[in-house]
Amino acid sequence: MIIAVDGPSASGKGTLARRLAQHYGLRHLDTGALYRMVGLAVLLSGGDPADEAAALAAARTIDLSLLEHPELRSEVTGGAASKVAAQPAVRAALLQFQRDFANENGGAVLDGRDIGTVVCPEASVKLFVIARADVRARRRHAELTRYGVEVSYETVLADIEARDARDMNRAVAPLKPAPDALLLDTSDLDIDAAVQQALSLVDSRLAELKLGSRAVRNRP
Ligand code: DC
């Protein structure tokens, strides 16, 4: 069973994907962390994330120790991730790893931007998680403040809007719902309510799939 969870930054998709993985006993891959590691590696080496040669070299030699780096979750790294992610060669270099992860050991939950459309178009269930930009900026601002980062709400909102525009308008694997994705708007939901809605969407999709396969088996 593969569950694809896509959506823009700070929509809640990461937390939802983790909670779904726990609930269904599946492994979880945060694919944004892959692009963040690539973006951060380029920044740490003094390079420009928009430079295709530098980004591709970082994607080919991905350094997993960067998962523990204190800057991995920063807004600057998020921006760099979004720039390396717009490059087709970088996306191609990370594709097989994501597909292998999804298909090993009976499935997984993957969250990102193009899981339902490109990485796992065959996923059993696809969720597309959205929230208004102002709500996402407030969430991200509160999170950064908790980490002791001093930044204004307006700056966070502008960063989120710039990243949305880059992720949605790029030529390759843009952020968009798959035609068979189930939409979940978390703007007015707290995390527990969002998890409950996600579980009920996934359960009803799984029930439909079961009914569908029974109907096929029982066809005369
Ligand atoms: O989910 P996140 O904010 O950690 O992702 C960081 C960036 O990586 C995001 O701006 C776009 C990119 N990304 C992507 O293009 N495709 C994915 N499957 C996951 C992330």
Residue for token pair 């952020």: 175
* Number of domain units in the chain: 1
Q: CA angle 127-130-132, nearest 5°?
A: 170
Domain membership of residue 217 (yes or no) is: no
User: What contacts 97, CB < 8 A, 6 or more positions away?
Assistant: 34
Domain membership of residue 201 (yes or no) is: no
Domain membership of residue 200 (yes or no) is: no
Q: What was the pLDDT predicted at 178?
A: 96
Domain membership of residue 60 (yes or no) is: yes
Q: Ligand 1 in contact with 77 (CB < 6 A)?
A: no
Nearest ligand 1 atom, CA 79:
10
Selection from 158, 157, 128, 164 nearest residue 140 by Cα: 157
Q: Ligand 1 in contact with 167 (CB < 6 A)?
A: yes
Domain membership of residue 210 (yes or no) is: no
**Residue length, the chain?**
220
Domain membership of residue 216 (yes or no) is: no
> For the whole model, what pTM was predicted?
0.93
Averaged pLDDT in 10-residue chunks for the chain of 220 residues: 95 96 97 97 98 97 93 90 96 96 94 97 97 96 88 94 91 93 96 97 93 70
Q: What was the pLDDT predicted at 220?
A: 63
Range of the domain at 134: 2-190
Q: CA angle 10-75-121, nearest 5°?
A: 50
Domain membership of residue 40 (yes or no) is: yes
Residue 126: which CATH number?
3.40.50.300
The rounded Å distance from CA 35 to ligand 1 centre is 6
Terminal CA-to-CA distance of the chain, rounded, Å? 28
Q: What was the pLDDT predicted at 12?
A: 94
Domain membership of residue 208 (yes or no) is: no
Q: Ligand 1 in contact with 31 (CB < 6 A)?
A: yes
